[in-house]
Amino acid sequence: MTSPRQSPPYSLPLALTLGEPAGIGPEITLKAWLARKSEALPVFFAIGPVALYRQLADALGLDVPVQAISDPSEAASGFDNALPVLAIELDAGVESGKLAPANARAVMRSIDMACDFALGGRAGGLVTNPIHKRALYEAGLQVPGHTEYLAARTGGQTPVMMLSCPGLRVVPVTVHEPLARVPALLTAAVIVEKGLILGHALRRDLGIARPRIAVAGLNPHAGEEGHIGREEIDIIAPAIEAIRREGFDVSGPLPPDTMFHAGARARYDAALCMYHDQALIPLKTIDFERGVNTTLGLPVVRTSPDHGTALDIAGRGIAHPGSLIEALKLAAEIARNRAAA
């Protein structure tokens, strides 16, 4: 069944997870559906409680009809007229901005269902609304995060987190680690592994035939030839040579303070960074409201808005849907490229 919004060979709807029900996920889901025509969005369906979306739409004055569906195949036919929602039940009521750990299992059930639909060829991919890990922990669920959870659920691949916005793609080699531990965690093998996953994803998922990868140094001025640290000489440069031998156009190690201005960004397709903030600060500075988190290296397509649950503004009608809109667009693009390949 091919939606009129999509061109073959891509024809499957995207599965959008519930996320933290007390956060802004339900609100930006409603607003994304409202933007479906102006943004030329692909067909998607939400997995969550039908009543929650209906009640929130009424409370916020959003003209979003909600249509309950029982299978992903039903999403496309009515998408122009109503938000399709594949119903799951919550274990507790929802009050915007206030966590209810009793709902944690429904949050995880939504993720599991979306993942299984994608694995089974019933959804083109999954787009995950933000979760609140403390609520999951308090419910007894040890989930380090979407990225690690989905990697384990889909076969244990090495997951690579790519953040993107219009004009920049970045991959941090180390992610949620204390800065003091980063030098010890950096090895040539780790940089090569993530660099190759990035390079192959740029080709397969984004259709870039000859991807250009810029690699950041760790130290100020990329170590200044060993005068401000030797990681660039001993670890990063050998890793770059290994990635280059696999046929990729790789430059670096580059001084991190000069590689993110507009002219520098025009010379590469993605930047491989050494730690979390080195990658995310420039991206969120360039375009905070349209950042997307994509998990590379999985057998399924997965994107997510690059922001949290925003409990402080939940239910107030002021949440910006831009990041979710971009996540939906990118998931559809990757799904189309994978299908074409």
Give residue 57's pLDDT band: very low, low, confident or very high (50, 70, 90).
Answer: very high
**Per-residue model confidence (pLDDT) at position 2:** 31
**Per-residue model confidence (pLDDT) at position 4:** 34
Give residue 138's pLDDT band: very low, low, confident or very high (50, 70, 90).
Answer: confident
Query: For a pLDDT cut of 70, what percent of the chain falls above it?
Result: 96
**Per-residue model confidence (pLDDT) at position 146:** 84
**Per-residue model confidence (pLDDT) at position 1:** 30
Tokens standing for 333? 């693009």
User: Whose CA is closest to 106, among 121, 87, 122?
Assistant: 87
Instruction: Answer positive or negative: Cα dihedral of 323, 146, 148, 152.
Output: negative
Give the least confident one: 7-16, 74-83, 164-173: 7-16
**Per-residue model confidence (pLDDT) at position 213:** 98
Query: For a pLDDT cut of 90, what percent of the chain falls above it?
Result: 88
- Distance, C-alpha 5 to centroid of its chain: 22
6: left (phi over 0), alpha (psi -120 to 50) or beta: beta
Overall average pLDDT of the 108-130 stretch: 96
Higher pLDDT, 148 or 205: 205
CB distance 337 to 48 below 8 Å: no
For the chain, the C-alpha Rg in angstroms (whole number) is: 20
Give the count of beta carbons closer than 10 Å to the beta carbon of residue 145: 15
Give the count of beta carbons closer than 10 Å to the beta carbon of residue 133: 18
Give the count of beta carbons closer than 10 Å to the beta carbon of residue 230: 14
Give residue 5's pLDDT band: very low, low, confident or very high (50, 70, 90).
Answer: very low
Say if residue 288's pLDDT is above 70: yes
Q: Tell me, what DSSP letter sits at residue 241? A: H
**Per-residue model confidence (pLDDT) at position 143:** 66
Overall average pLDDT of the 50-64 stretch: 98
β-pairing verdict for 168-172 and 66-69 = unpaired
In DSSP terms, 227 is beta-bridged to 229
Look at the pTM and tell me if it is higher than 0.75: yes
What's the CA gap between 62 and 285, in Å, rounded? 30
pLDDT digits (tens, 9 = 90+) for 301-341: 999 999 999 999 999 999 999 999 999 999 999 999 999 88
User: Whose CA is closest to 269, among 210, 312, 228?
Assistant: 210
Say if residue 7's pLDDT is above 60: no
Task: Give CA angle at 252 (216, 223), nearest 5°.
Answer: 65
Beta strands in the chain (DSSP E): 14-16, 44-48, 66-69, 83-87, 125-127, 160-165, 168-172, 212-216, 249-254, 270-273, 292-296, 302-305
| Average pLDDT along the chain | 94
Q: In what order do the strands lie in the sheet with 125-127?
A: 66-69, 83-87, 44-48, 14-16, 125-127, 302-305, 292-296, 160-165, 168-172, 270-273, 212-216, 249-254
Give the least confident one: 139-153, 206-220, 268-282: 139-153
